[in-house]
Amino acid sequence: MTRLSVNLNKIAVLRNSRGGALPDVLAAARVAIAAGADGITVHPRPDLRHIRPQDVLALADMLTVEFNVEGNPFAGPNAQGYPGFIELVEAVRPAQVTLVPDDDAQITSDHGFDIARDSERLRPVIARLKRSGARVSLFMDAGSTSGHALRALGADRIEIYTGPYASAFSGGRYEAELAACAHTAADARAAGLAVNAGHDLDQDNLASLLAAAAPIAEVSIGHALINDALYAGLATTVQRYRSLCGGA
Catalytically active residues, by annotation? 43, 70, 199
* Neighbouring C-beta atoms of residue 47, cutoff 10 Å: 12
Non-local CB neighbours of 88 within 8 Å, separated by 6+ positions: 44, 53, 56, 69, 71, 82
Strand partners, 195: 158
Angle, alpha carbons 185-187-189 (nearest 5°): 70
Question: What amino acid is encoded at 85 in this protein?
Answer: F
Where helices occur in 63-174 by DSSP H, the ranges are: 85-92, 115-131, 147-153, 163-171
Contact 95, 60 (CB under 8 A): no
Contact 95, 66 (CB under 8 A): yes
Contact 28, 59 (CB under 8 A): no
Report d(CA 103, CA 216) in Å as an integer. Answer: 27
Report d(CA 131, CA 187) in Å as an integer. Answer: 26
Q: Which helix (H) or strand (E) holds 193?
A: none
